[in-house]
Amino acid sequence: QVQLQESGGGLVQAGASLKLSCVASGPTSSSHATGWFRQAPGKERDFVAAIRRSSGSTVYADSVKGRFTISRDNAKNTVYLEMNSLTPEDTALYYCAVGTPILSAIRRSDMYHYWGQGTQVTVSA
């Protein structure tokens, strides 16, 4: 069973940057993809970005494209989410998740089998 631990969240001002980390422990597979999702209070959990373990190919939500960058270090079993130009609308609990989604379904949260506990990101105006 894969276990995930997020870190790197915090309280920042608008325009600042943060870098989140997601460390995986347990069996990994070349077919895995890691996704970042976020959930603001009273809202649904939304897809943010995803990266495939084997190819490194990435997918982003339109709302973060050009501001966020997802990357991986397979040797460290770690996936990063670098977030720049943060706005108050980015305030949420950020989760990383691992699954084996096909490309057309990579944005779907139900395609991910393992989830971390989340790390809070709060952006003040």
Query: Per residue in 86-120, pLDDT tens?
Result: 999 999 999 999 999 988 899 999 999 999 999 99
Beta-strand ranges (E) seen in 33-77 are 33-39, 46-52, 58-60, 68-73
Token pair in block for residue 30: 């070349």
Residue 28 pLDDT greater than 90, yes or no: no
Residue 75 confidence (pLDDT): 93
Residue 30 confidence (pLDDT): 81
Handedness of CA 34, 112, 3, 90 (dihedral sign): positive
Token pair in block for residue 99: 């699954």
Among candidate residues 20, 16, 6, 37, the one with its CA nearest the CA of residue 84 = 16
Q: Which residue has the higher pLDDT, 31 or 113?
A: 113
* Distance from C-alpha of 5 to C-alpha of 21, rounded to nearest angstrom: 8
Residue 31 confidence (pLDDT): 83
Residue type, 86: L
Residue 29 confidence (pLDDT): 84
pLDDT tens for each residue of 47-88: 999 999 989 999 999 999 999 999 999 999 999 999 999 999
